[in-house]
Amino acid sequence: MPNLEKYVDRHAAGKVLARSLDLYRDRTDVLVLGLARGGMPVAYEIANELNLPLDVFIVRKLGVPNQSELAMGAIALGDIQVLNEHIISHMGVSKEEINRIFQKEREELNRRALLYRENRPLPELKNNTIILVDDGIATGASIRAAIQALRQLHVAKLIVAVPVADKEMCHTIALLVDEFYCPLRPTNFEAVGLWYENFSQTEDAEVYTLLMKAKKFG
């Protein structure tokens, strides 16, 4: 793997990650899941390069009231909820506020599921190898929720692949999965977007388009 300083964009990052995952090329028991929305362009390139099926996995961050960028937890498909009790206690967030935000984010999660997948059922995940992909890991709330949800679905092997994450966060997430791939692990991480030249927001339409363009959707 070459020394990396920054990725051009999410698609370029996916092509870099695909090199590390060549062992899984053409496997019939492997599925690539992109975390919506930013993980989808990365996942698309991995799936296309390795000739693997692609699908989307949806997780919504639960932001602290009036500080939405600060994650106090996340929810994923299947009514999975992961809470950061330390942040909730430190910020004094009440149960009523948590429930209000949970309901709001669950509505958005369901909206996206309908929009992206058009009522298609999720492919069979049980007893298959899953490559879970995002564009980076900051707080870890979203990826933790996705990991917990997939574990409850009894996948055979869970691999997380991300282009960039804080060095310490890499150690933390690696302990939760069977394999972990992250080529760029800066000690001065600060934010995912700093490690991309182009980090424009991935829109709903792009997620849908990538799924339709994928060689194997689900």
Q: What are phi and psi of 56, to 5 degrees?
A: -110, 140
pLDDT digits 0-9 by tens, 46-57: 999 999 999 999
Helix (H) / strand (E) containing 181: strand 179-181
Q: Which residues pair with 64 in a beta bridge?
A: 67
Q: How confident is the model at residue 1, as a pLDDT? A: 41
Cα–Cα distances in angstroms (integers) from residue 117 to residues 67, 73, 120, 141, in the given order: 31, 25, 5, 24
* Cβ proximity of 129 and 156 under 8 Å: yes
- Kindly state the average pLDDT of the residues 38-45: 97
* Boundaries of every domain in the chain: 10-58+121-213
How would residue 71 be classed by pLDDT, with cut points 50, 70 and 90? confident
Question: How far from chain centre, in Å, is Cα 67?
Answer: 22
> Does 77 have pLDDT greater than 80?
no
pLDDT digits 0-9 by tens, 136-168: 998 888 898 899 889 888 899 999 999 999 999
How would residue 2 be classed by pLDDT, with cut points 50, 70 and 90? very low
Residue type, 161: A
Read off the pTM.
0.88
Q: How confident is the model at residue 3, as a pLDDT? A: 52
Determine the Cα–Cα distance for residues 197 and 15; give it in Å rounded to an integer: 15
Instruction: Classify strands 129-133 and 80-83 as parallel, antiparallel or unpaired.
Output: unpaired
- 179-181, strands of its sheet edge to edge: 80-83, 67-76, 54-64, 30-36, 129-133, 157-161, 179-181
Q: Is the domain defined by 10-58+121-213 classed in CATH 3.40.50.2020?
A: yes
